């Protein structure tokens, strides 16, 4: 490669040679050494500038000196800005929760008018403090669904653990979409919730539609069931206090919280052995959408009650299978249970109510309050269905025995007084 200095010297020499060749030997010019030399230098400089510009343009148009190389070397700052960002600090809170899922009744689930249902949320403790039973969920706003203002945490929940929180509710009696908001409260009474700021509430969101009809009542039909304890068949109704186990129907007994919520079956397992009592009901044909519903808990003041409630079934002479079970201890609360029976639709099912002693059974007075099979309907229950037993007053209307006062009306024997004058007066005129 020819160096730049050599190139400039060559161009200068060529320019001077050209000018001298054209100017010095011009026939019209007269020799003026100083002015001629200055003019020659000026013309050479102009020619050199023009040639340098042309050479520079030619060199910059070469593919080797592209602008991309200059751009890459002149702008390193965009790549350095990423390394200067400080790491994001992890926020930690004593009390914080994360919503995991709706265990029951997802948003918009259909619930019958006036029916009992149990909403269960699954939450995760994402804070640094353990949730104890002194923590609770509390009502915030919206539809309350007949629930209490607060419900205690069912147990201790360490950081990183999940918990299922159940809330017993009653649907409104008007169709529509309803939502109720709830939040958590710690042992000091401070509220907290879910979300990035741990201050958002979670909610119940259901659609109330149609009517819930009770199509089978386990209380009114309880003596149609075959009841037995662990080893013996039981009479129905049983004798209260029978150590072999017993079942009785009670009118609005008090539950653990001291309130009465409907008629119930009081079931008591046998004291000896492991302790159990079961009642197998006659076959019932299940339809899609049918549900088993009840309130379950211990009887009021049965403070050492600790039992397992179990809903079982049998089809024909097949195996006895369990649909659901719930443990209950005396803690001042009760459970509202609702089991979907749609999987048994079309089958003739023998439902079985079972109570098992969870330890000693001496205080296991277990209540099934309003156990029934419910069905959704677009129409309300007709009054004539429930009124027919009351209308059967026809025995009272049978006043015909009282009207049979006809024997008293037979006064005809008394009017036989006509015989007395004839019998007394005929003998007198004969002497």
Query: 283 and 223, same structural domain?
Result: yes
pLDDT digits (tens, 9 = 90+) for 127-183: 999 999 999 999 999 999 999 999 999 999 999 999 999 999 989 988 899 999 999
Query: 307 and 237, same structural domain?
Result: yes
The answer to whether residue 315 is domain-embedded is: yes
Q: Judge whether 227 and 279 are in contact, CB under 8 Å.
A: yes
238 vs 382, higher pLDDT? 238
Task: From 210, 236, 262, give the residue that closes a domain.
Answer: 210
The domain of 151 spans: 97-210
Can you give the CATH number for the domain in which 204 is found?
A: 2.60.40.10
pTM score of the predicted model:
0.54
Take residue 310 and report the two structure tokens written for it: 């179990």
Query: 368 and 255, same structural domain?
Result: yes
pLDDT digits (tens, 9 = 90+) for 196-232: 999 999 999 999 988 888 999 999 999 999 999 987 9
The answer to whether residue 48 is domain-embedded is: no
Q: What is the mean pLDDT of the chain?
A: 79
The count of structural domains within the chain is: 2
**Percentage of the chain with pLDDT > 70?**
67
Query: 338 and 281, same structural domain?
Result: yes
Query: 126 and 204, same structural domain?
Result: yes
The answer to whether residue 31 is domain-embedded is: no
Phi and psi for 7 in degrees, rounded to 5? -65, -45
Query: 302 and 247, same structural domain?
Result: yes
Q: Where are the alpha helices (DSSP H) in 24-119?
A: 33-60, 67-74, 77-80
pLDDT digits (tens, 9 = 90+) for 292-350: 999 999 999 999 999 999 999 999 999 999 999 999 999 988 888 989 999 999 999 99
Query: 264 and 116, same structural domain?
Result: no
Task: From 160, 194, 210, give the residue that closes a domain.
Answer: 210
Can you give the CATH number for the domain in which 345 is found?
A: 2.60.120.200
User: What's the CA gap between 294 and 222, in Å, rounded?
Assistant: 14
Q: Is 349 helix (H, G, I), strand (E, B) or coil?
A: strand
């Amino acid at each position: 490669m020819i160096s730049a200095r050599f190139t400039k010297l060559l161009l200068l020499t060529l320019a001077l040679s050209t000018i001298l060749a054209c100017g010095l030997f011009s026939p019209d010019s007269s020799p003026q050494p100083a002015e001629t030399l200055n003019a020659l230098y000026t013309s050479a400089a102009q020619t050199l500038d023009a040639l340098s510009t042309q050479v520079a343009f030619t060199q910059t148009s070469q593919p080797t000196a592209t602008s991309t190389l200059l751009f890459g070397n002149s702008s390193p700052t965009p790549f350095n800005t990423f390394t200067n960002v400080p790491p994001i600090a992890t926020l930690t809170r004593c009390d914080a929760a994360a919503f995991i899922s709706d265990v029951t009744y997802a948003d918009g689930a259909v619930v019958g008018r006036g029916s009992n249902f149990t909403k269960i949320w699954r939450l995760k403790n994402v804070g640094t403090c353990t949730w104890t039973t002194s923590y609770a969920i509390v009502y915030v706003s919206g539809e309350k669904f007949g629930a209490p203002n607060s419900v205690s945490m069912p147990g201790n929940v360490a950081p990183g653990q999940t918990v299922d929180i159940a809330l017993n509710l009653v649907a409104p009696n008007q169709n529509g979409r309803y939502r109720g908001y709830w939040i958590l409260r710690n042992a000091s009474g401070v509220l907290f919730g879910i979300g990035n700021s741990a201050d958002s509430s979670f909610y119940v969101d259901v659609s109330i539609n149609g009517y819930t009809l009770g199509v089978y009542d386990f209380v009114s039909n309880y003596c149609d069931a075959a009841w037995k304890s662990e080893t013996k068949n039981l009479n129905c109704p049983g004798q209260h206090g029978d150590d072999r186990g017993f079942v009785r129907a009670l009118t609005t007994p008090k539950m653990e919280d001291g309130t009465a919520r409907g008629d119930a079956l009081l079931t008591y397992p046998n004291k000896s052995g492991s302790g159990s009592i079961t009642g197998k009901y006659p076959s019932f044909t299940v339809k899609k959408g049918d549900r088993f519903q009840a309130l379950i808990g211990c009887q009021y003041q049965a403070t050492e009650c600790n039992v397992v409630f179990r809903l079982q079934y049998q089809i024909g002479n097949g195996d006895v299978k369990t649909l659901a079970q719930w443990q209950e201890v005396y803690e001042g609360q009760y459970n509202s249970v609702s089991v979907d029976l749609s999987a048994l639709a079309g089958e003739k099912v023998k439902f079985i109510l079972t109570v098992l002693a969870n330890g000693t059974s001496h205080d296991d007075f277990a209540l099934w309050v309003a156990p029934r099979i419910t069905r959704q309907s677009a129409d309300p229950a007709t009054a004539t269905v429930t009124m027919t037993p009351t209308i059967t007053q026809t025995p009272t209307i049978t006043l015909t025995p009282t009207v049979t006062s006809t024997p008293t009306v037979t006064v005809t024997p008394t009017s036989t007084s006509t015989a007395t004058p004839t019998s007394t007066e005929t003998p007198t005129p004969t002497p």
